[in-house]
Amino acid sequence: MTMTVWRACRREFTAYASAAVERLMRSIVQTSNALQANKWLAGARLIYDAVKSRRAALGLATKPFSSWARLDVDVQQIVAGQSIYVIRRYWAHSMGP
């Protein structure tokens, strides 16, 4: 494979991988938002609102609901892990026997 072809393939793969990571990030954020808005969390949200109200009366701050309910999603960490997996898988396949 000539160097020019190799660079072209690498550019195309980089563009494809970047687009895939962007799609993955959007999907993770959308899933996280949908989870937080889920009606099954209504009870937890009522408890959170009561705790937040009590803490505010004492002049204390309260974590955001997603942190309080441990629903935080570290999108960057998830995407980084998935990106590495995709790249490893691609290279293993392209450099195969």
48 Cβ neighbours under 8 A, 6+ residues apart: 62, 65, 68, 69
The helix or strand, by DSSP H or E, that contains position 18, with its residue range, turns out to be helix 3-36
* Rounded Cα distance, 13 and 94, in Å: 11
pLDDT tens for residues 9-49?
A: 888 888 887 888 788 778 877 887 787 778 888 888 999 99
Give the global pTM: 0.52
* Strand ranges (E), the chain: none
pLDDT tens for residues 39-88?
A: 888 888 999 999 999 999 999 999 988 888 877 766 666 666 655 555 55
The helix or strand, by DSSP H or E, that contains position 17, with its residue range, turns out to be helix 3-36
